[in-house]
Structure formats: structure tokens, C-alpha cells
Structure 1
Amino acid sequence: MPEGHSVHRIARQFDRNFVGRRVSASSPQGRFVEGAATLDGREAESVRAVGKQMFLEFEGDVWLRVHLGMYGAWDFAGEIIVDPTIASANGRMGQTNQRGTVLNADDHDDAIMDAAGENSLSSIGAPRRARVHVRMSEQTTGLADEGEDWPPPVVGQVRLRLLTESTCADLRGPTACELQTPDEVVATIAKLGPDPLVDDPEEGEERFTQVVRRKPTPIGLLLMDQSVVSGIGNVYRAELLYRARLDPHTPGRDVPEETVRQLWRDWSRLLRIGVETGQMMTMDELSPEDWRKAMASRDDRHWVYRRAGLPCRTCGTSIVLEEMGARKLYWCPSCQE
């Protein structure tokens, strides 16, 4: 499931390529025909991400709410303007798990590619514009191919296609894709926990701390509860708990207040790193060589995630894998006792 940094990056891409433009909408799959008809011909006016959900506003007080869930993805094609606030990797758009799209072939020799064909290093520069086809999600695999046809042919089960004169966005497999009124958007967001990139940092910290400190629920479950805090998924949960040296089974009310506050501050920091780099980098104080190594290999970006049975990077104890909240949890029983 895409975690918070991915959704914020996707929202920024919509801001660059759709906001301020009139949009044609259709539902090739046929499961969002009425909604697409309502959106068709309207101008996109704004976009925002809160946790794992994105809200795209259209003229006439109509909002599109999308939650990608476990299998959802956005496929972008056409003339893509890369947001300069998002790290652009040697000419590539740095969306999480984007595969193989090189916008500037001259820069490709300087790229560091990971085992999945993803260039993770960032570069600084002006917005780039290129003809590409790229997928934005967590589970994306395979290469994104540049095409000549416009608009591009529909491939697979596309729930919603949004199209401007030069850019196409295809939505596949979302958990939620619905239209909302402004009041419904407010109500939806009100049910979500604080998001460090949306809420006032101090207010978010207080809200998070107060909720956690009164709950008997294990902290490992609370971090995945989107009504407690927005955007944290399986990877960030495991890594945040390890970085705090916190036993995942500790009831929230038993976690020291300062530790809870530090969890929020650490999440704020890691989320920003994720948005900037497109990667869930959770290891600190790496040498330049180790940083490049980590950007080139997912196995070198995390302390405990997906390291079941391997020695803890700190103490050598075997990392434990268990199920918590119907999701895999990785942790060190020695460092996190």
C-alpha cells in the first residue's frame, strides 16, 4: 500500500500537470461512469493529500477522493512537468517505485540504478517537460514505455481517465474513487489523524500525543491507525518503532510522553525525506558512499524492514517477523525490549 510520502508526491504531480486546466474524464472500465461524466469538461482547481488519501477539486464545488489502497496506481502519460520541489533523479521523475523512465538520456550515465531499475539519486534543476509514460504507486513493476499515440490507448482496467490537451492520468485498482461535496471532504479529513505536511506541527504533535497516551492499544497498531496519525504504513511503522527502540506491543498509554513526541517528530522528518527523494530512507548518518549504496538497493535503506532472520544491524540479534494488524511486522527483540 502506498504510504504517505507517495500520495503527497502524486498530489504535487497533479498540481503541476492538471490544476488550472480543463479536464476530460471517462471511465473505460465502466465502474465510474456517472462520476466521470460529472467531472468531464470541468477545470481542476486544487489538489491536496492527507495521509494516504488525495482530494482533487474541480470547479463547481466538486471533489474527487482517491484512496489507492493495496493495489491502486496512477499511470501518467504525455507531456509531464516535473515539480521542482520533488527531487528529480538525473532527469527522471522521482515518484516512488517509478520504473525506468529516463527523461534526459544525456544524464543516464551518471545514474545509480537499483535492482528494480530505479534511479534514486536526486538532482536540482528547473521543471522538466518530456513525453513519457510512468506509473506512480508502491507495487509498480516493469518498464514504463514512451509512446507515440495520443491519447494513449487504454490498457487494462482503468477506473478513471483524466485527460488534458497534453497529459493523461489513468487510475487503476483504487480502494476508493468517489465524488464528494466540500462538506463531505471536510468530514472525511476530520476522521483522519494529523499529517505532518498538512497540520500545524505543534498542534499535530499534541493531538497525536494525547490520543496515543490514553489508548491501551499496542503502539504497533496505533501507528497504523489512520485516525491516530496519517500516512504511516508497514515500512514506516517498523522503522519508526526500531528508531525509537520501542517494543511494538507496548500499550500506547505506557509509552513515555517524550517517546511519543519523538515518534511524531521522527515521522515528520522521515516523511519529508520520503517526499524529497521518493524513497523510504530510514537510516541516518550514512557516509556518502553508504548513502549511494542505500539509494541503489532497498535492502540497504532500512534497519529492520524485510530483514526477518537476519542479524540486527546494531546488536546482531535475529530480526523477528510476526503478524500485527494483519500486516507483517519486523522488529529486534533485543534493541526494542
Structure 2
Amino acid sequence: MPEGHVIHRLAQHLNREFTDTSPIVTSPQGRFDAQARTLDGQPYLESDAYGKHLFIEFDVSQPERIIYIHLGLIGSLHFEDPAETKGQIRLHMATNTIAANLRGPQWCRLITAEEKAVAVDKLGADPLRADADPKPIKEKVNKSNRSIASLLMDQSLFPGVGNIYRAETLFRLGIDPFSSGKDADFDAIWADLVQLMAEGVKAGRIDTVRPEHTPEAMNRPPRVDDHGGEVYVYRRAGQKCYICGTPINEQVMEGRNLFWCPTCQKGD
């Protein structure tokens, strides 16, 4: 599932391509056809991202004017030639020069501003948003006996954080993923997420290794993985830790694979 930096990049890309346009809006697949017809040829306003949730707003008089998208596990939004028709396209937004084609989302709905507010209110503090207020989240985490690894995957606390950012931030800070939220250093975690995720938006990939641990600095081969990016522990089970040489551990936690170094992340 795409992590929050991907959704924020998509929102930025949509704004670059469609601001001051009135795009063609269709649903070639047909599952969003009635909703698309109400937006077709109407002025585009803006796209906005909260965690893994994408909102695309149009300037129309009807209350339902916001497309609400969650990509889920297999969804994608690609910018393509306007004539591109491959695959099951749920939503097609196009100008004369470019199209945004949505395929396989978990959902694509047309909602009101009030419904958007309700959806956003269910989320916690997004490290990628300048208006995020981490204080209420810190209070919850500091009182929790749940493991910090579990808390970091809770979108009502850390929207946009996924398996990669969870594993990498905890490693970078030397935090035992099984330690409780109340024992974790929330401020350090928040600061590291803000930094790493902002870099992810700029680069379009997740790189978490520090300069001294890059392939060039360590004279090692670059990572080869579908997810891309240079990381410390994510999907490196059984491989040696770059810092201590201990094999990286992997364990299923709440249906997701958790990766960590048992030496570097012993905790207190």
C-alpha cells in the first residue's frame, strides 16, 4: 500500500497539471460514471492529501463536489497520454496534454465538504502537513501500553505512516519495536518522521540510510527491490545489519511484517 509521501506527491502533481483547467472527467470502467458526468468539464479547484487519503475538489454548485480516493493495496493513479485506455480505469481526468488515470482503488467516491471533514477528523496528525498538531497524539501515545510498532501503524494516530517508515524510524532511533508507547520517545519519532517523509515527497522514494551508510560510503551494492530506496531493515530479513552485523529479524505483527535489528534495537 502506498505510504503518505506518495499521496502527497500525487496531490502536488494534480495541482500542477489541472489548476486553472476544466478537465474532461469520465469513468471508462463505468463504476464511477454517474459521478464523473456531474464533474465533466467543470473547473478544477485543488487536490489535498491527509495521510493515505486523497481529495480532489471541483468548483460546482452541488454539495457533492469532492472526489475521495483511497488507493488501498493495488490502486494506482498515473499521469499518462490523454489517449491512454489500458486497464480498468475507474476515473479519467484529462486536458489536451495529460490525463490522470485511476485504476483499482480501494474506493473512489463523490462526497461533500462535510463528509470530507468527518473523514479527516478520524485521522491523527499527518507528519507531512504543516497544519498537523501532534500534541493530542503525543498524549495518547504517552499513555498507551500498546507497542510503539503497533501505534505507528494506527492511522487514527499517524496517518500516512506505513510499514516502511515504521520500521526505519524505529531503527534509526534505536527503539525496540515491542516497547510500549508510554516508554517511547514521541518527540524523536515525530521529528524523524517529519524529516524522512518530507524527503520522500521530494525524491519520490523512501531513502532512510544516513550518508555514512549509503552504498558508496560502505562500498556495497545498491539495494535491489520493487519498493526501491536505501533502507536499514525493511525487507532485509536475514541480511546483516549495516551497523552491527546482526541478521535482521522479521515477525508478523497484526497482519503486517515487522522488521528490526535485535542488537541495535534492544531498548533499555
TM-score scaled to structure 1, two decimals? 0.72
Counterpart residue number, 1:11 = 11
How far apart in 1 are the matches of 2:183 and 2:92? 48
In the alignment, is residue 278 of structure 1 matched against residue 210 of structure 2? no
Counterpart residue number, 1:304 = 233
How far apart in 1 are the matches of 2:109 and 2:59? 16
Conservation of the 8 A alpha-carbon contact between 2:222 and 2:230? no
Conservation of the 8 A alpha-carbon contact between 2:94 and 2:100? yes
Q: State the one-letter code of the partner of 2:28.
A: P
After alignment, is 321-330 or 298-307 more displaced? Answer: 298-307
How far apart in 1 are the matches of 2:159 and 2:213? 31
In the alignment, is residue 264 of structure 1 matched against residue 267 of structure 2? no
How far has the Cα of 1:295 moved from its partner?
11
SS across alignment from 1:245: coil
How far apart in 2 are the matches of 1:276 and 1:293? 26
How far apart in 1 are the matches of 2:108 and 2:21? 21
How far has the Cα of 1:335 moved from its partner?
1.2
How far has the Cα of 1:267 moved from its partner?
0.1
Deviations 1:52-106 (A, max 9, x none): 111111012511111111111112123xxxxxxxxxxxxxxxxxxxxxxxxxxxx
1:4-83 correspondence runs (5 A): 4-60=4-60, 62-78=65-81
In the alignment, is residue 231 of structure 1 matched against residue 183 of structure 2? no
Counterpart residue number, 2:100 = 169
SS across alignment from 2:212: coil
How far has the Cα of 1:294 moved from its partner?
9.3
1:216-227 correspondence runs (5 A): 216-227=145-156
How far has the Cα of 1:276 moved from its partner?
1.1
Conservation of the 8 A alpha-carbon contact between 1:19 and 1:46? yes
Counterpart residue number, 2:174 = 245
Q: State the one-letter code of the partner of 2:71.
A: L
Structure 1: unaligned runs, 5 residues or longer:
79-150
Conservation of the 8 A alpha-carbon contact between 1:208 and 1:264? no
How far apart in 1 are the matches of 2:218 and 2:24? 41
How far apart in 2 are the matches of 1:28 and 1:156? 10
Deviations 1:21-44 (A, max 9, x none): 102111111211122112212111
How far has the Cα of 1:16 moved from its partner?
0.5
Aligned structure 1 segments of 4 or more residues deviating by more than 3 angstroms? 286-289, 291-300
How far has the Cα of 1:208 moved from its partner?
2.6
Aligned partner (choices 192, 198, 216) of residue 129 of structure 2: 198
Deviations 1:186-208 (A, max 9, x none): 1111111111232436x32x233
CA RMSD of aligned residues (A): 2.2
How far apart in 2 are the matches of 1:293 and 1:281? 17
How far apart in 1 are the matches of 2:237 and 2:215? 25
How far apart in 2 are the matches of 1:287 and 1:212? 31
